[in-house]
Structure 1
Amino acid sequence: MNEQRGRGKYTLEFKQEAVRQVKAGRAASVVAKTLGMPKASLTNWVRADAQGQLGMTAEGKPAPVVTPEQAEIARLRAEVARLKMERDIGKKSRGVLCAGRAARYAWIQSMKRRWPITMMCEVLEISPSGYFSWEASQRRPAKGPGRSHSDEALLAHIKAIHEQLRGEYGWPRMHKELLARGVRVGKERVRLLMQRHGIRAKGKKKFVVTTDSRHHLPVAPDLVQRRFTPAEPNLVWSGDITYLSTEEGWLYLAAVLDLHSRQIVGWSLQPHMQTALVKDALLMACFRRKPAAGLIFHCDRGSQYCSRDFQDALKAWGIRSSMSRKGNCWDNAPTDSLWSRLKTACVHGRRFATHDQARQAVMDWIAFYNHSRLHSALGYISPMQFEKRRMAAQLQSAA
């Protein structure tokens, strides 16, 4: 157990996902920052993957070295992924091409965390130097009284953010997002513009509960009692399972949420709902956060969480088990709310042909949620920003 804590291991699924993002054309430094891990580790994984030695086989033996033919296939797949990315940029930016240069600049600014700026400039037929000059001008404070943005320019910002976030934000969160991006504007003006142009947040839909509490396994007491605002990170985590439909069959997602910052600290995506699903999510969270003994893990009474294998994993890390009351969704409200946001943002209205397509969509959303999505319970900042501000305040008070 001590060896695991010291080494800071990552699950094979985590490594494969990180390598996939690099192969898709994202910079290794960006992927490492998004996933909260050292860049050097990611570089080693990419090198190991190219040699066919990333992870181990089911028999516990090192993965075999790939043949030249397999390496060429991998290279071609990476090239196809890049072409798909360029095509996707072209599709999403088609309407922006006709909206003027300012709208193109605004669109690039809203999407720069997703794709390379130079690639977007090429697709939108503008020069990178022109974009960077425009971006610098947006950071300068407005001179004199009056509005710093016309309705047309502001609407371009709103449409770009709305498309980037797949319609997830209503006007209150849109207003906060604009302020966070340096666009000075009143909330009433944002509300009226969105109302006038029919821009609204997607509606929520009901989804099936995945909890199976019809078992005779031991059940832990509720140690949380709906106190969902712990004073520090790694005091209370919450876990749950949801599902995604694909043409290849169901794909199940287990997540671990730190209730202090509402950051998703562990996750696992697998085509089954066995105990390994929730255990892998827990281990990812433990390897990443290395919590001190005494942390509370709160969940429902599902058979996966009550299983001996999962409970043994909790005990090995010194984690206390807590479970909500039977049939009471409010006892685990933060994770239920998380699933609602996930389904609204990247599941409803979309069809996934394969598990890989669904997995990519979910991983992209988790990265966005942790690093960028404004959370009302945190004062409209992202979970990562919330933790960084707390750490900065602690360092300042200790100085």
Structure 2
Amino acid sequence: MNVHPFIEAEKREGHSVKRACELLKVSRAAFYARRTSTPGPRAVQDAELTEQITTVHEKSRGTYGAPRIHAVLQRQGTACGRRRIARLMRAAGLAGRHRRRRHRTTIPDPHAASRPDLVLRDFRPDPTATDARWCGDITYIPTDEGWLYLATVIDIASRRVVGWATADHLRTELVADTFRAACHQRRPAGPVIFHSDRGCQVLRGASAMQSQ
């Protein structure tokens, strides 16, 4: 029995098409596809499959791509190919979210001399020894305009960030700006031990500040 004329009459009366389709167990996508033209069986199937894909995509909060949606539909008993799902997703403007590639910020300097660990792996806080031992690192933040690099200097004794700087590059100037910010903020009265990994930017930045 073709229930589409009944749904059409309900629509003309101003009633909810969604509700009518739910009561009659008819796909809204198939109804609209028939309403706008006289599609073939394949087009109707694509419309119904698109609605199933959209439902799974919404339940995943927009994270699932074609492979995962294909797996869900297979478990639900819907026989379809992954390429077909990918094609229908493109047509419907749907896309999954992909994990960003890990961005490497610690690039060891092969020519850097080995330096002793003056902190001796002791990172315990000590309120009586502020501005005596600092540590720092560089991290990265993905943005719509590309990678934003954040360099920080932390006082080991108080666990506070005493200096930071951001840039769209990983050059030595980023680290030097961070040290300048820390020195301007804290104005240490004596020598400060700085601990970091063996990233070439941090090592060169520290060397640049020692020479100033």
TM-score (norm 1): 0.26
Larger helix percent:
1
TM-score (norm 2): 0.48
**In terms of Rg, which structure is larger?**
2
